[in-house]
Chain A
Amino acid sequence: MFFENKNYGFISQIDLKQKRIQILYSFIMVFGFLIIILCIFPPLWVILSSLKDTKEFYGIPATIIPRSFNPEKLWIVWNSVGFTKYFINSLIVVFGSVVCAMLFNGMLAYAVSILKPKGSKVVFNLVVMSMMIPTTVSMMTLFKNIVDVKLLNSYIPLMLGVGANAYFCILYKQFFDAIPKSYIEAARIDGCSKLKIFTHIITPMSKAVNTVITIFALNAAWSDFLMPYLILRKENVKTVMVKLFSMSTFPDDYIVVSLFFTIVPPVILFSIFQKNMINGIQLGGIKG
């Protein structure tokens, strides 16, 4: 075993020369792997089970490692549920949500952090305060608002709703606060308008925070279920999650395959952007 680089934690490099500590270290390692197995097993079970044939799926006792291999089942379920339509619907919502998340939260944060007009602090405090009370407390009055403006069965409230996200606003504000004021002063002296400062100075500098917001908004919009479930009543406008929740009339093996479909896109996203996601959590996670 190589412990040359161990310069952190309560087990020091010198400790590790003792047999007793080495055993303890191995125990911790085993413990870590057990945790990982616990984290990975349920989604793995979904993937493995969606490939079982129907007979094996309902067999008693359940098999953990599948004996049958039926990839065509994915295709059958995809078609008989009609997932193409629901995936397109979800993609529209996800795309619109990401745009709204960046545009509206970014603009508010820009005004509060850099322009600072009189009274903007009050608005920001109200935004922060709204974080204390979960939106589920007022979901039915929000539902009424949406019905009143005749946006039932529409994606617009889902997209715009992400534009009013206190957490994203705060993340943006923290980022903008750290931009050196001299850049903005210089632009101002050169006669840049406020809009131009936003589009030509702030936006190009905000790549890091934009990536984090994009990934969070993407994931949130894809996973969102309650509001879409209340708003999207017509079959042809449902998103993937709404369809998944209303699949109780389908057999269990169909539901497992559908679970597989809903888990795959975020897993792909995660494997591409894992570094940004984990850094984003460590930076902004405490405030969430």
Chain B
Amino acid sequence: MKDLKKGALISFKQNFTSWLFIIPSIILFSFFIWHPLLSGIRYSFFKMNGFKMIEFVGFDNYINVLSSSDFYNALNNTFSYAFWSIIIGYFAPIIIAIFLNELVHFKGVFRLGVYFPNIVPGLAAYLMWKMLMAPGEGGVFNTIIGWFGLGPFMWIQDPRYSIPLIIMTMTWKAFGGAVLIYMASLQSVDQNLYEAVAIDGGGIWTKIRHITIPKIMPLAKMMLILQFINVFKVMQEPLIMTDGGPLNSSMSLLLLTYKYAFKYNKIDMAATVGSLVGILLFVISFIYMKVTKNKEA
């Protein structure tokens, strides 16, 4: 009995010193991530005045949000962002990686070059592209297309093109990382497989279709879901480039929470939209976890 007590004491003492390494992080994670998330959910059930909770209103905020046209516009736009980010942002790195992987010459230059935009700070990149796409005749892009007798265009100031152009900018900023990951995966293709196809009389197209694409398929599946999760976070880009305009055409869900919280002081509405995005992402992430589990098995 005494020994048992002593054992428990020692194991507590051992664990205690171990926990000393964890406790600072627990405090930080609670303060910066877990508590803000949970209190956001709590706020979504209250009527708020600034950051003061006035009274519990149940699902009223959700009903309000779900019946507002602002929310539907932002939801619609967010799916539009997702659509374009898959068309542009998802396929571009795959295609570029497959081709760049073929090159023997200047391999280092290509790898550095595609990764270069990643190191340009986000704010600088988006302001830079906004200036390049200046709508006037003095705009750089308008000057360039002017050489071919086109334009001038309105670029992101045109509600029809604001989302695809923002996605194009985001793709420019981030595609290098994905290209490097795909290239790393392509490096490990067994060369004998290509030779086998060649012996069977298959051309280059057959090789790509039956060897290259199946090889990167598991990775590509994971990246697709990551892409989808990432695009739901879109907020800073439209904030910097268009402030949600023109005519709310580039307003995303998270930009809407930002506007509710810091422009219109509607904390309850912001918390509710935030919670809805959180639920949506949780569902997508759950699917993501399932897919990665299957891949490992």
Complex Cα distance A147/B36, Å?
13
Complex Cα distance A38/B169, Å?
11
Complex Cα distance A32/B211, Å?
22
**Of the residues B39, B219, B222, B233, contact of A134 by C-beta under 8 Å:** B233
Chain A 58-92, CB within 8 Å of chain B: the 1/0 string?
Answer: 11111010000000000000000000000000000
Complex Cα distance A15/B204, Å?
9
Cβ of A278 under 8 Å from chain B: yes
CB contacts under 8 Å to B, within A176-221, are: 193-195, 198, 219
Q: Is there an interface contact between A163 and B25, defined as CB atoms closer than 8 Å?
A: yes
Which chain B positions have C-beta within 8 A of A64?
A: 140, 143-144
Q: Is there an interface contact between A42 and B115, defined as CB atoms closer than 8 Å?
A: no
Complex Cα distance A130/B204, Å?
44
Complex Cα distance A218/B127, Å?
21
Number of interface residues of A (CB under 8 A): 103
Which chain B positions have C-beta within 8 A of A161?
A: 28, 32
Q: Is there an interface contact between A286 and B181, defined as CB atoms closer than 8 Å?
A: yes
Chain A 4-29, CB within 8 Å of chain B: the 1/0 string?
Answer: 01111111101100000100110011
Q: Is there an interface contact between B137 and A61, defined as CB atoms closer than 8 Å?
A: yes
Chain A 244-288, CB within 8 Å of chain B: the 1/0 string?
Answer: 110000001001100100110011011000100110011001101
**Of the residues A31, A107, A137, A266, contact of B40 by C-beta under 8 Å:** A137
Nearest B residue to A135, CB-CB: B33
Q: Is there an interface contact between B274 and A137, defined as CB atoms closer than 8 Å?
A: yes
Q: How many residue-residue contacts, CB under 8 A, span A and B?
A: 291
Complex Cα distance A164/B102, Å?
40
Complex Cα distance A202/B207, Å?
46
Complex Cα distance A219/B43, Å?
34
Which chain A positions have C-beta within 8 A of B275?
A: 137
Closest beta carbon of chain A to B84's beta carbon, Å: 18
Chain B 11-43, CB within 8 Å of chain A: the 1/0 string?
Answer: 000110111011011101101111111011001
Complex Cα distance A46/B229, Å?
32
Cβ of B110 under 8 Å from chain A: yes
Complex Cα distance A163/B28, Å?
7
Q: Is there an interface contact between A256 and B140, defined as CB atoms closer than 8 Å?
A: no
Q: Is there an interface contact between B127 and A123, defined as CB atoms closer than 8 Å?
A: no
Complex Cα distance A141/B30, Å?
12
Q: Is there an interface contact between B176 and A39, defined as CB atoms closer than 8 Å?
A: yes
20 of the cross-chain contacts (CB-CB < 8 Å) are A10-B208, A28-B103, A32-B110, A36-B113, A45-B128, A115-B21, A130-B37, A132-B229, A132-B282, A133-B37, A141-B39, A157-B32, A160-B28, A219-B119, A219-B121, A225-B123, A225-B236, A267-B119, A270-B116, A270-B119
Q: Is there an interface contact between A263 and B177, defined as CB atoms closer than 8 Å?
A: no
Q: Is there an interface contact between B114 and A141, defined as CB atoms closer than 8 Å?
A: no
Which chain B positions have C-beta within 8 A of A138?
A: 33, 36-37, 39-40, 274
Cβ of B187 under 8 Å from chain A: yes
Complex Cα distance A277/B281, Å?
29
Counting chain A CB atoms within 10 Å of each CB, the highest count among B99, B187, B198, B275 belongs to B99
Q: Is there an interface contact between B123 and A245, defined as CB atoms closer than 8 Å?
A: yes
The 3 closest A-B pairs by CB, nearest first: A223-B121, A117-B18, A36-B113
Which chain B positions have C-beta within 8 A of A43?
A: 116-117, 120, 128
Complex Cα distance A252/B39, Å?
41
Which chain B positions have C-beta within 8 A of A111?
A: 18-19, 21-22
Which chain A positions have C-beta within 8 A of B19?
A: 111, 117, 120
Complex Cα distance A169/B19, Å?
16
Cβ of A222 under 8 Å from chain B: yes
**Of the residues B111, B129, B207, B262, contact of A42 by C-beta under 8 Å:** B129
Which chain B positions have C-beta within 8 A of A14?
A: 198
Complex Cα distance A112/B18, Å?
9
Complex Cα distance A42/B171, Å?
14
Q: Is there an interface contact between B37 and A137, defined as CB atoms closer than 8 Å?
A: yes
Closest beta carbon of chain B to A249's beta carbon, Å: 15
Complex Cα distance A169/B140, Å?
43
Nearest A residue to B15, CB-CB: A117
Q: Is there an interface contact between B102 and A11, defined as CB atoms closer than 8 Å?
A: yes
Cβ of B139 under 8 Å from chain A: yes
**Of the residues A29, A38, A262, A281, contact of B103 by C-beta under 8 Å:** A29
CB contacts under 8 Å to A, within B252-297, are: 254, 257-258, 261-262, 267, 270-271, 274-275, 277-278, 281-282, 285
Q: Is there an interface contact between A58 and B138, defined as CB atoms closer than 8 Å?
A: yes
CB contacts under 8 Å to A, within B94-112, are: 96, 99-106, 109-112
Q: Is there an interface contact between A112 and B180, defined as CB atoms closer than 8 Å?
A: no
Cβ of B10 under 8 Å from chain A: no
Q: Is there an interface contact between B123 and A139, defined as CB atoms closer than 8 Å?
A: no
Q: Is there an interface contact between B100 and A285, defined as CB atoms closer than 8 Å?
A: no
